[in-house]
Amino acid sequence: MSTDPYVLRVNGGDHQVPDAYLGESLLWVLRERLGLPGSKNACEEGECGSCSVQVDGELVCSCLVLAAAAVGREITTIEGIAPGGGLADVQRAFVEAGAVQCGFCTPGLLMAVDTLLDDLPDDGSDPDDLTVREAISGNLCRCTGYGRILEAVSIAADIRRGGRT
């Protein structure tokens, strides 16, 4: 039942995963084997988004990725989105906007918003309300009612466009 040792590339570094159970999800391996518990475990059935990570730049639920099958992929987690030592624009915006309450959904939402802002059109326009809501519709938040999160997205979009620093 256990796998051969394998290597996952997470946040730009290679991580050995020795002697794992074959059925372990990427979420579990990140959290319990690699010391990266920032990705959260709210449902483990792809219905809450709190485990969201980027795999080769695509936003996915890490709970639905078989860890051993992610060998060779570039995996980015919440621990890897900030430039060295500081906070990423989306992280600053979430704090500033009051988008964080209990914080359990926050890492997954940040990954979703980061992906959204990465994919913004080049024409300088901000994503409209429905686009933003659809982009985060896979991330359940039970505390905020999403109001401050939408505000944070707007702030982060502004920062990313260089509107403010």
What contacts 124, CB < 8 A, 6 or more positions away? 161
Of 148 and 160, the one with the shorter C-beta distance to other proteins is 148
Of 6 and 161, the one with the shorter C-beta distance to other proteins is 6
Which of 5, 103, 118, 163 touches other proteins by CB under 8 A?
103
* Cβ–Cβ under 8 Å, residues 99 and 144: yes
Of 33 and 161, the one with the shorter C-beta distance to other proteins is 33
Of 52 and 75, the one with the shorter C-beta distance to other proteins is 52
Least distance to other proteins, CB of residue 149, Å: 7
CA pair distance 59, 115, nearest whole angstrom? 7
Least distance to other proteins, CB of residue 64, Å: 4
Q: State whether the Cα torsion 134-28-99-79 is positive or negative.
A: negative
Least distance to other proteins, CB of residue 39, Å: 8
Q: Decide if residue 5 touches other proteins (CB under 8 A).
A: no
Q: Which of residues 9-48 bind other proteins (CB under 8 A)?
A: 21-23, 25, 28, 31-32, 35-48
Q: Decide if residue 7 touches other proteins (CB under 8 A).
A: no
Of 18 and 23, the one with the shorter C-beta distance to other proteins is 23
Q: According to the 3-state scheme, what is the secondary structure of 109-147?
A: HHHHHHHHHHCCCCCCCCCCHHHHHHHCCCCCCCCCCCH
In order of 90, 103, 155, the CA distances from 95 in angstroms are: 9, 10, 11
Q: Which of residues 104-133 bind other proteins (CB under 8 A)?
A: 104-107, 110, 112, 130, 132-133
CA pair distance 104, 88, nearest whole angstrom? 18
